[in-house]
Amino acid sequence: MKRMLLLAGVVLSLLSFRVSGDADTIISALKDGNAEQLSQYFDNMLDVKLPEKDEIKNVGKNQAGIAVKGFFADNHIKGFEATSQREISGTMYLTGKLTGGSKSYNITLMMKNKGDKTAIMTLRIN
């Protein structure tokens, strides 16, 4: 019984490192202003809200990627500072500030684990 609990603990620890690795890669993509790398973590369908645009619900991964790439390019996004990163009931939240040109934008990502990868379910920028 002790061995099973120990094995379960080791497996959970390894899984949490994988999630952390994905979160670190997502943060790195935001810091670099790399929308293409960020979009690799989009779920197949997600909700996207960009400044001065209506929220798009259940948009496909490719269309969301195009919209976010356009926003990053138009606003010269080149930096990110995380303000909060937490997990509640298997859902991960990442909030922070994107910087571009003379403006900064608040960003919130809601993510879940899908298999062995973290998937972005919601992306809101305002």
Provide the residue ranges of all domains of the chain, joining segments of one domain with +. Answer: 2-125
* Residue-by-residue pLDDT tens, the chain, 126 positions: 555 554 454 444 444 434 457 889 999 999 999 999 999 999 999 999 999 999 999 999 999 999 999 999 999 999 999 999 999 988 999 999 999 888 999 999 999 998 888 999 999 999
* CATH number for region 2-125: 3.10.450.50
pTM reported for the whole predicted model = 0.81
List of long-range contacts for 112-119, beta carbons under 8 Å, 24+ apart: 112/43, 113/15, 113/19, 114/43, 116/18, 117/22, 117/41, 118/19, 118/22, 118/23, 118/26, 118/41, 118/92, 119/41, 119/42, 119/43
